[in-house]
Chain A
Amino acid sequence: MQKLRRKVYMTAGYNTISMGTGRKEFHPKKPRPGIEHYISEAGKGVLNQIGGPDNVDESVLGNFMAARFNKQANLPGFIPMIDKKLEFKPAISVEGACGSGGLALMYGLRSVLAETADVVLTLGVEVQNTVKAIYGADILAGAGWYQKRKQGHAYFFPGQFSDRAGAYYEKYGFDRARKGMARWFANAMENARLDPTAQEYQNTNPDPYALALKMKPNGAAFVDHLTVLDCSKVSDGASGIAICSEEGLEKIGVDKKDAVEVLGWAQVIRDITNDPKDPAELEAIPKAAHQAMESAGVTIDQIGTIETHDCFSIAGILAVEGLGLAKKGEGADWVDAGNTARDGYMPMNTTGGLIGWGHPTGATGVHQAVTIWQQLTGKAGKAQINISDDRPYGMTINMGGDDVTVVAVVYKRG
């Protein structure tokens, strides 16, 4: 990939609360705000930091399945609801399953690079608690190939990653893997408790590691090789961030030190109709991450923190291996040793990730960018980690489906 022809920045990130089980204010049987509320809150949250709607050239909204969760399509039409002044400006929505947020980032980046916009209001949203989990599973299964739905599990995606976990256990050992997965969960809880917008912010379990280690997968009730603690949450939420050129930053009056610069990115697609070559390995995620680092001219040992797509704990561990942080089969040990904890060698998912912060599917890619922006600019509040000068870079990896639509972005302090 060629060097970027123009500098691109991200700033003014905003997250709504990730709403769903775990939050005390969530009650499945009581009425809740709809998708309009989340788009509006996240949009306004960004506009308030960039001098209002006049500074926005265009908008992009990542979303996966509003058409089924909310019986709503034509989502760009909701952008002017954020502010009347956005009416009659360009807006678009993009979809790539749980990678929709990443695609929204990519669209914003491309638009700034194409010099058709200096400020792109970039949003992601999903409101999934409109249906029970057993029906939500059908909807989310759309991230896989429809022809495979019939033979798939009732909980389709947990089923897919359960197969991956099963293959990993078989190849590298059950106990080792479960320890790594339990540590992944414990890290997620520890981090989420530091971010007031996280779905597990109010989590008080005294020993999440022991809890996750004790719970054994039960195929009769759920899937064969995962427990519910290995899974991301069912969430309602939205995130937003502004993607700007240097001129854009000037226009909105935001100092570079309050922004992150995008050094490089990559997006790769794996054939949705093919099963993974080796279920104990990811293919598209490593390709995207390495391409992104290459385009940024950065190596993994220069990166100080990563937001990776842990829709399931096993996906986090496979990503660690795919990134080359640990050898194949040793990712679980590496995680269990504390390397991905907030004070470890490579802090990952420092506001809880998909398991702790939440996974409003279409918003996740944008949420990851907001977290990296917060961490690199010192705006992460209690969740702030130490970013050392010799490893000043951050990376986000957002995945749609089972390693199918992947976007990776490398950032540095602005």
Chain B
Amino acid sequence: MTYEERLQNVSVLGAAGKMGSGILLLTAVEMADLSLKPENKDKSFVLNAIDIDPAGLSGLMKYMREQVRKVAEKKTVWLRKAYADRDDLVENYDIIDEYIFDVLNIVRPVTSMEAAHKSTLIFEAVSENRALKVKLLSGIDQNNPNKPWYFTNTSSVPINLIESEAKLDGRILGFHFYNPPAVQRLVELITTEKTLEEAIEFAHEYAGKLKKIIVPSNDHAGFIGNGHFMRDALHGMKEAEALAADKNIPLYKAISIINKVTQDYLVRPMGIFQLIDYVGVDVVQFILNVMNPFNADEELQHDLLDTMMEQGVKGGQYSSGAQKDGFLKYKGGKIVAVWDVHKQHYVDVDEFQGECEEMMGSLPTSKVAWKDLLRNKKKDDLLLQFFNDLKASDELGAILAVKYGKRSKEIGEKLVKDLVAQKIDHVNTVMLTGFYHAYGPVNNFFD
């Protein structure tokens, strides 16, 4: 079966979710582009968008229409060539509208799993629940005569377990997009001992067409991305609790300080508590629950997450992409308050920010902003200067940052030692491309 034949009938499970919708968009665009090739004009391409939530599917189609327009506007030069034989399509307006229709025309939003019974490729992006994944995939596999391939988007469940429990025998691999899939360039590719060579080749070709960067990860719960992020987040929570006890301040103030340290001092796109909120407190907890049993030498859980869940403060995102409140409260994308787990309400940042800043001390004048660094050719020199100044400082913020940077490196090195990542380079690439960090965690800045 050729690359194109494989993509003639595809299903996405959990298509209305945050990850599913992104995978659907990218795949729909790739399939439509194939369908526009002259040699494929008579072939049919079908992409089933499967989700149990009818309202979600309706929202999905609106999302698709908006996003495909953006995609089309960026490649109109190519689209004019693709539609050159259509005399009725003259202006860019006409051509873009036709392309949007052609992409959406491939997509079949459905709530029934049966649609997947004819597919040759199935993307799985349902919630991080191993039993559910196994149930769905084995259910499809028993009814699908095509011996389809399964690309699971799991960010934590070992692929070999799904493979054996669903009896897929080499027809599965982990194809882990980063959130949001349409934007983030990283894909973690996880294969099992049995994964078919053709499926791996196809995965590389497909990723290449989507302009994604593939980083291979070994099949260890959490893989590289969550292997680092989860431990980094746990360090943040532990540091916040320790700081609160040490300085005798309420936990929300310590959370605010650690969030600021991880953003401004470590020059990251967002602070660690904001990142937990972005991913979702609930999702972080699920992932840790999946990972914990596979890591006997450490305790991958934190009471603070359980407390937050009990109090119903979960973060995550609205279907519009707007941030829900979690550890932090947001207004227009800005952090305006921090959750007080003891009194169970948000405390306005304005009330205590001055006090926290005084405790942290001032940032060295060599400070650099994350957004100014990404495309800066002198990035490494600027970071070296700034981090050297941090190491030389005895202010609280600087001390916490240096400790955090060292821990982050330790986590990266452990991933290689534990045979999760094949090499340091892979860990750094994942953090640079999947988490948009300006520098890899395994570096010499904090030594």
Q: Which residues of A approach B to under 8 Å, CB–CB? A: 132, 134-135, 137-138, 141, 149-150, 153-155, 219-222
Contact present for B93 and A153 (CB under 8 Å): no
Closest A residue by C-beta to B76? A154
Within B83-102, the residues touching A (CB, 8 Å) are 87, 90-93, 96
Q: Which residues in B have their C-beta under 8 angstroms from that of A155?
A: 77
Given contacts A132-B73, A153-B77, 12 further A-B contacts (CB under 8 A): A134-B73, A134-B96, A137-B92, A138-B93, A141-B91, A153-B80, A154-B76, A154-B79, A154-B80, A155-B77, A220-B77, A222-B77
Q: Which residues in A have their C-beta under 8 angstroms from that of B73?
A: 132, 134
Contact present for A149 and B77 (CB under 8 Å): no
The A interface, classified by DSSP as helix, strand, loop or mixed, is loop
Contact present for B90 and A150 (CB under 8 Å): yes
Closest B residue by C-beta to A133? B73
Contact present for B90 and A149 (CB under 8 Å): yes
Closest B residue by C-beta to A149? B90
Closest B residue by C-beta to A150? B90
Closest A residue by C-beta to B91? A138
Interface mask (B61-82 → A, CB under 8 Å = 1, otherwise 0): 0000000000001001101100
A271 to chain B, nearest CB (A): 21
B84 to chain A, nearest CB (A): 8
Contact present for A149 and B76 (CB under 8 Å): no
Contact present for B90 and A134 (CB under 8 Å): no
A–B Cβ pairs within 8 angstroms, 28 of them: A132-B73, A134-B73, A134-B76, A134-B92, A134-B96, A135-B92, A135-B93, A137-B92, A138-B91, A138-B92, A138-B93, A141-B91, A149-B90, A149-B91, A150-B87, A150-B90, A153-B77, A153-B80, A154-B76, A154-B77, A154-B79, A154-B80, A154-B92, A155-B77, A219-B77, A220-B77, A221-B77, A222-B77
User: A137 CA to B87 CA in the complex, in Å?
Assistant: 19
Q: Which residues in A have their C-beta under 8 angstroms from that of B90?
A: 149-150
A149 to chain B, nearest CB (A): 5
User: A138 CA to B90 CA in the complex, in Å?
Assistant: 9
User: A155 CA to B77 CA in the complex, in Å?
Assistant: 8
Q: Which residues in A have their C-beta under 8 angstroms from that of B96?
A: 134
Q: How large is the interface on B (under 10, 10 to 19, 20 to 34, 35 or more residues)?
A: 10 to 19
Interface mask (B3-33 → A, CB under 8 Å = 1, otherwise 0): 0000000000000000000000000000000
Q: Which residues in B have their C-beta under 8 angstroms from that of A150?
A: 87, 90
Closest A residue by C-beta to B80? A154
Q: Which residues in A have their C-beta under 8 angstroms from that of B76?
A: 134, 154
Closest B residue by C-beta to A219? B77
Q: Which residues in B have their C-beta under 8 angstroms from that of A220?
A: 77
Closest B residue by C-beta to A222? B77
User: A142 CA to B90 CA in the complex, in Å?
Assistant: 12
Closest A residue by C-beta to B77? A154
User: A135 CA to B93 CA in the complex, in Å?
Assistant: 6
User: A154 CA to B94 CA in the complex, in Å?
Assistant: 11
Q: Chain A CB within 10 Å — which of B73, B90, B96 has the most?
A: B90
User: A153 CA to B76 CA in the complex, in Å?
Assistant: 9
Q: Chain A CB within 10 Å — which of B73, B80, B92 has the most?
A: B92
Q: Report the 10 A-B pairs with minimum CB-CB distance, sorted nearest first.
A: A138-B91, A154-B76, A154-B77, A150-B90, A138-B92, A134-B73, A154-B80, A149-B90, A134-B92, A134-B76
Closest A residue by C-beta to B72? A134
User: A51 CA to B79 CA in the complex, in Å?
Assistant: 55
User: A369 CA to B96 CA in the complex, in Å?
Assistant: 39
Closest B residue by C-beta to A147? B90
Closest B residue by C-beta to A138? B91
Q: Which residues in B have their C-beta under 8 angstroms from that of A135?
A: 92-93
A176 to chain B, nearest CB (A): 27
A221 to chain B, nearest CB (A): 7
User: A150 CA to B91 CA in the complex, in Å?
Assistant: 7
A162 to chain B, nearest CB (A): 12
Closest A residue by C-beta to B73? A134
User: A135 CA to B92 CA in the complex, in Å?
Assistant: 6
Q: Which residues in A have their C-beta under 8 angstroms from that of B93?
A: 135, 138
User: A132 CA to B72 CA in the complex, in Å?
Assistant: 13
A210 to chain B, nearest CB (A): 15
A27 to chain B, nearest CB (A): 15
Within B178-207, the residues touching A (CB, 8 Å) are none
B72 to chain A, nearest CB (A): 9
Q: Which residues in A have their C-beta under 8 angstroms from that of B80?
A: 153-154
Q: Chain B CB within 10 Å — which of A137, A138, A219 has the most?
A: A138
User: A218 CA to B96 CA in the complex, in Å?
Assistant: 22
Q: Which residues in B have their C-beta under 8 angstroms from that of A132?
A: 73
